Amino acid sequence: MKYSKIIFTIIFFCLFVTSFRTVAAQDATDSSATKEALPKRIDRILKEKQPEVAGALAEISIKKRGFVGPIERVSATSLTIATHKGPLVLPLDETVKVLKSNKEISITDLSVDNLVVAIGTEIDGTFMPKYILSSGTSEKPKVRMVLLGTLTGIEKSTLTLKTRGTNETKEVTVNKSTEYQNSDGSEISLKMLGEDLTILVIATDDEDGLTATTIRSLAPLSDPKKS
């Protein structure tokens, strides 16, 4: 019985060690083969992707950029533009060209409130202008409003609207330029609009108040003449 126990233990141990070593040897072979192949694969992929990566890197670091806005401040060395995100100070030197109506002009020809377009490149987040394009005009863009609400009153030249959400009452002037649209965008006449209709109003806002440029019904309307 003693012999059998000893033999049992020895055989068990031998089998375990042998099988473990076999697997370890197999893994070592795989691992060394992988280690040898890996640098070659890396080199090949690097060579293949090099032009792509170089192009992408150049694109990331240098971008064409353009800014639009009226001039806030101008001096011999800098120009400040009021962009929609806030003021942008542009450094000026002899390499920056200032153009107006096909001709190169001097920076001193620019004045405050002139609408300009600055074109240049952005390198690592810093914008460097190359061209300043001046329109020569100081016209401020119109203030545009978009309203959604219910029609509560219709007169010849005025519509009264109760805005959705805020429940404000707004008077909107309509004129010959005002376009009336059905829900699908097709043109309709003012006569087709009725009270309690939900409409979208696009208007300009100035010292004279709101003047509608487009009024669109959000519910489909049918022309009584056609039906």
Partner 1 sequence: MKKEILLAIIIGLAFGLFITYGLYRVRKATQSAKTQPVSTTAPTASPGNDPSSALLTILNPEDNTVQEEPSTTVTGISQPNAVLVLFANDEEFITTADGSGNFSFTVDLKSGGTILTVHALNENGETFAATRTIVVSSLLSQPAESASPAAETK
Instruction: Tell me the CA distances in angstroms from 93 to 83, 106, 191, one per residue in order.
Output: 21, 11, 60
Instruction: Pull the structure tokens for residue 178.
Output: 């005002």
Q: How many residues bind partner 1 (CB under 8 A)?
A: 65
Taking CB under 8 A as the rule, does residue 4 contact partner 1? yes
Q: Is 191 in the site for partner 1 (CB under 8 A)?
A: no
Q: Is 39 in the site for partner 1 (CB under 8 A)?
A: no
Q: How far is CA 45 from the centre of its chain?
A: 34
Least distance from partner 1 to the Cβ atom of residue 131, Å = 5
Rounded Cα distance, 201 and 198, in Å? 10
Tell me if 107 contacts partner 1 by CB under 8 A: no
Q: Is 6 among the residues that bind partner 1 (CB under 8 A)?
A: no
The correct pick among 71, 188, 216, 217 for binding partner 1 (CB under 8 A) is 216
Residue 82 binding partner 1, by CB under 8 A: no
Q: Which DSSP letter does residue 141 get? A: P
- What the block records as the tokens of 173 is 């002037």
Stretch that binds partner 1, among 70-78, 101-109, 188-196, 219-227 (CB under 8 A): 101-109
Among the candidate windows 25-33, 71-79, 169-177, 189-197, which touches partner 1 by CB under 8 A?
25-33
> From the centroid of its chain, how far is CA 77?
31
| Chain center to CA of 212 | 28
Binding of residue 15 to partner 1 (CB under 8 A) = yes
Label residue 44 left, alpha or beta by phi (over 0 means left) and psi (-120 to 50 means alpha): alpha
Give CA separation, 138 vs 56, 86, 99, 226, 227, in Å. 39, 18, 16, 48, 51
Applying CB under 8 A, the residues found at the interface with partner 1 are 3-4, 7-8, 11-12, 14-16, 18-20, 22-23, 27, 30-31, 34, 49, 53, 56, 60, 64-68, 83-85, 97, 99-104, 116-117, 119-121, 130-131, 133-136, 141, 144, 146, 148-149, 163-166, 181, 185, 200, 202, 213-214, 216, 218
